[in-house]
């Protein structure tokens, strides 16, 4: 039967991570990234390892997010969340909760996960629509080519927008 213990996104936990050779394990910090509703009835939580290796903190690579507020979580050294090593961990391997990430660090990690998986907040979906991307590219090309139109009134701006959609005449400048 799955564990009923729950964890929240942003909690830094200590988990026994098995060696690749399966000859033992070592306690390591990890950041919970799955939401409670997702893992409530599952035996696992999804986590990202947290590394104190200086190379990841000083020269972060793609998917590395150095924590600005690492000390407030209970970590002893400057640490980095490694999004590229996402994994599912059985709840029974979790030893304890160290603390919760500072909201600024959690926001950066969450944004990194959105980018890694191509996820976009619902209120920004319009921006990623192919038609909108086409319009943006056209507007950028027009600006780069020195082709722009200045309007001085809201009515003139609306008329310009309507004309770009093929609904009206282009306003005079």
Q: What is the DSSP string of 19-83?
A: PTTSS-EEEEEEEE-S-HHHHTTSSEEEEEEEE--HHHHHS--TTEEE-TTHHHHT-SS--EEEG
Q: What is the CA radius of gyration of the chain?
A: 24
Q: What share of the chain is helix, strand, coil (3-state, %, to 5)?
A: 40, 25, 40
- Tell me: the pLDDT tens digits for 132-166? 878 888 888 888 888 887 888 989 888 888 887 76
Q: Which domains does the chain have, with CATH numbers?
A: 11-119 (2.30.30.110), 124-164 (no CATH)
- pTM for the model: 0.67
């Amino acid at each position: 039967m799955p564990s009923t213990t729950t964890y929240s996104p942003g909690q830094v936990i200590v988990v026994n991570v098995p060696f690749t050779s399966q000859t033992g394990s070592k306690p390591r910090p990890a950041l919970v990234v799955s939401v409670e509703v997702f893992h409530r009835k599952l035996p696992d939580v999804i986590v990202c390892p947290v590394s104190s290796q200086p190379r990841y903190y000083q020269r972060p690579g793609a998917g590395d997010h150095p924590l600005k507020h690492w000390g407030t979580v209970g970590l002893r050294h400057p640490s980095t969340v490694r999004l590229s090593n996402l994994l599912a961990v059985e709840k029974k391997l979790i030893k304890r909760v160290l603390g919760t990430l500072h909201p600024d660090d959690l926001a950066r990690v969450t944004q990194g996960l959105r980018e890694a998986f191509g996820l976009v907040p619902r209120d920004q979906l319009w921006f990623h629509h192919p038609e909108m991307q086409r319009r943006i590219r056209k507007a950028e090309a027009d600006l780069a080519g020195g082709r722009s139109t200045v309007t001085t009134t809201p009515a003139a701006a609306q008329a310009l927008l309507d004309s770009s959609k093929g609904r009206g005449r282009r306003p005079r400048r």
